[in-house]
Structure 1
Amino acid sequence: MHLDLSVPATELTRAVVDIPSESGAEAVLADAVEEALAGLGGLRVDRDGDAVVARTDLGRATRVLLAGHLDTVPIADNLPSRVVGGRLYGCGTSDMQAGVAVMLRLAAVFATSAGSGLAHDVTWVFYDNEEVDAVRNGLRRLVANHRDWLDADLALLLEPTAGEIEAGCQGTLRVVVTVPGHRAHSARAWLGENAIHRAAPLLERLGSYRTRTVVIDGCTYREGLNAVRISGGVAGNIIPDACEVVVNYRFAPDRDVSQALDHVRETLDGFTLELADSADGALPGLTAPAAAAFVQAVGRKPVAKYGWTDVARFAALGIPALNYGPGDPNLAHTRDEYVEIERIDAAEDVLHRYLATEK
């Protein structure tokens, strides 16, 4: 596969989208990205697995890192891409191949001037396996294997934000709540104790839970505690002796995982639970000079990021990070996923002006 970085961002987005890159199968797209970047000249291009990192070395006083994941969720009969009424439809258009295309376009545009128009040195990070378990995340692997590749004064993730600046991100954890019962023949149900029925008080407690709202740096984070899966039962004629309810807690970044887990245990007191997965969130970090300069350059008031993104990884490294991209987060992972074409062009223009303008 070959990517022509000289074409307009919308056409480039279509080309990226039409290279299938479900999580774990990003190699073909990673190859195309690596080849295209190496062909520009003036960039150091490195690779680790299916993560590709390119960087300028112009001796600028500051460095800005642009990051985006190459993978998409599984295709849902939504490839190849198509354009209808100012929208580009296809798997990953919003999350986040439009952002990947904008990154590639910026690399090509500045390469034509040998980087002379850049106010900052720039690092481009394209990585794999963001849409699956955190242990497979390509950015996590880069942190472990090549921490120095990620040095920057500001990291911008081109995650879908509909052109808004989304600051920080929520933390997340999942617990498995086990509700016991006593097995019996369903014809003699009084001899058993139905574990599924015994889960009803847990569900009622979750249904009446009052969510917390937290304002940090002017950004409003709303929390959520929800049952996301329930399983139980043995056969059609058996009273079940066990029921499991998976509960997800999305918490504001003023709490860490330990504090969040304490809150869940307190809320679900009386039930047996086990932590299954967790990730700390990231504070907005808007007081960092580099983040404040980007906000000023874009001229948009930051809002809270609902959901977890890899800004948290950069925050853990002490690097200010923000989410800013052309896709719409509300369309991510949907069968009818699309991106507004005008937002692709607008994101390229905003980032070009930011990177090329002296502060």
Structure 2
Amino acid sequence: MTLGTLGQVKPLDLTSDPVALTAALVDIPSPSHQEKHIADLVEQALIDVPGVQVIRRGNTVAARTDRGRAERVVLAGHLDTVPIADNVPHRLVDGVMYGCGTVDMKSGLAVYLHLFATLATSPDLAFDLTVIAYECEEVDSQFNGLGHLAASDPEWLQGDLALLGEPSGAIVEAGCQGTLRVRVTTRGRRAHSARGWLGDNAAHKLAPAIQRIAEWDNREVDIDGCVYREGLNVVKLESYLATNIIPDEAYALVNYRFAPDLTAEEALARVEKHLEGYEVTLEDSVAGAHPGLDKPAAAALIAQVGEVKAKYGWTDVARFAELGVPAVNFGPGDPSYAHRQEEQVPVEHITRVATQLRDFLTPARPVGNS
């Protein structure tokens, strides 16, 4: 049960219009690590869908049909939001819904839950369906519910195509870039700044490394017609002891966003080669995901939506890619509004994604042998 905006106790109705369901989800506060209440509601609502199997791991809930279709589509979205910033409950103004989680990604999750619930027993459904509503996407990856499910129950992520409800402007954003972060360190010798010639300024030694990073030749890589543009950038600089001390250590944190044609190891090797002669330490890395648009189910989705582009940035589609499942991002709204106090999603985007995805899942001629 959930408290509505007027204080009444209400269950979640997954068969309600996706716009109304988005509003209901937004009005349930669920910052990261506080998803139990919303997970309880989603779990109960999915249990009420006839003929499906439901599991729960922590505050991650998943359900699937088993109708013997030849292909399976996985629909995944996260339950958590960033901290609320006086933007719950939702507001609906001139066709735009405002509120924490509207675009990232309760609108996408609402569409997925709605279609799962309304199509689970439909004779027109061309695919078996799995829906996953997971916890802790907005925090450190060690807490990520989809990652935990991939480790404990990998079969629940298996399918012929996976969709992630990331905001993508109501078009398909395919695959994702990989990302790694390295620390570039220079060392010197401390001295009083009044006698700086007695020291060796580590910060000054860092300058040539920064210049070399600025001269990096960014690749543009075309995979399945999606062009991924890479970037190597300094994201943090630090070198300080006191205002009258020559620093003996300086470092730059450097982020490399790389195309999914590279493994994480290959990407690191490129950075190390470019910064040869400097002390480079890997802090974090994760590979990207190929778009997989040559797969029949993915091609059918693209034909239905009509527009596709590369995903800049890393998303959880990479977790599916690790399991050999082609995955794309497909959700309502402009991702630039994510995490902002004025977070918002156009109602028309919610309706469009729901309509296009329903048409894909229930084609006039069944896909494959389904």
TM-score range relative to shorter protein: over 0.9
For 1:85 and 1:195, the matched residues in 2 are separated by 56
For 2:231 and 2:90, the matched residues in 1 are separated by 34
**How much does 1:323 deviate?**
1.3
After superposition, the Cα gap between the structure-2 partners of 1:305 and 1:186, relative to the gap in structure 1 and judged at 3 Å, is: same
CA contact (8 A) 1:211 1:222 kept: yes
For 1:54 and 1:116, the matched residues in 2 are separated by 19
For 2:238 and 2:12, the matched residues in 1 are separated by 46
Residue 343 of structure 1 aligns with an amino acid whose one-letter code is H
In the TM superposition, structure 1's runs of 4+ consecutive aligned residues that sit over 6 Å from their partners are: none
**CA-based RMSD:** 1.7
After superposition, the Cα gap between the structure-2 partners of 1:80 and 1:179, relative to the gap in structure 1 and judged at 3 Å, is: farther
**How much does 1:262 deviate?**
0.8
Q: Which stretches in structure 1 are left out of the alignment for 5+ residues?
A: none
Q: Structure 2 length as normaliser, TM-score?
A: 0.91
For 1:196 and 1:14, the matched residues in 2 are separated by 51
Structure-1 residue corresponding to 2:110: 101
CA contact (8 A) 1:183 1:238 kept: yes
Residue 303 of structure 1 aligns with an amino acid whose one-letter code is K
CA contact (8 A) 2:290 2:326 kept: no
Query: Which whole-Å deviations, capped at 9, do the CAs of 1:285-313 have from their partners, x for residues lacking one?
Result: 11111211221222x13211101112211
1:214 aligns with 2:225: no
**How much does 1:158 deviate?**
1.4
**How much does 1:167 deviate?**
1.2
**How much does 1:334 deviate?**
2.6
The alignment covers a number of residue pairs equal to 356
Q: Which SS does the other structure have where 1:199 is aligned?
A: helix
Aligned residue among 333, 352, 356 for 1:346: 352
Structure-2 residue corresponding to 1:307: 313
What is the percent sequence identity of the aligned residues?
54
For 1:81 and 1:234, the matched residues in 2 are separated by 47
**How much does 1:154 deviate?**
1.3
Structure-2 residue corresponding to 1:129: 136
Structure-1 residue corresponding to 2:337: 331
- 1:72-151 matches, cutoff 5 A: 72-110=81-119, 114-151=121-158
Structure-2 residue corresponding to 1:266: 273
For 1:122 and 1:304, the matched residues in 2 are separated by 25
Query: Which whole-Å deviations, capped at 9, do the CAs of 1:40-83 have from their partners, x for residues lacking one?
Result: 33221110111100111222222111111112223334333222
Moved more, 280-289 or 229-238: 229-238
Q: Which SS does the other structure have where 2:63 is aligned?
A: strand
Moved more, 198-207 or 151-160: 198-207
For 1:56 and 1:136, the matched residues in 2 are separated by 27
Q: Structure 1 length as normaliser, TM-score?
A: 0.94
For 2:332 and 2:134, the matched residues in 1 are separated by 18
**How much does 1:343 deviate?**
0.2
- 1:241-252 matches, cutoff 5 A: 241-252=248-259
Residue 82 of structure 2 aligns with an amino acid whose one-letter code is V
Aligned residue among 288, 301, 304 for 2:295: 288
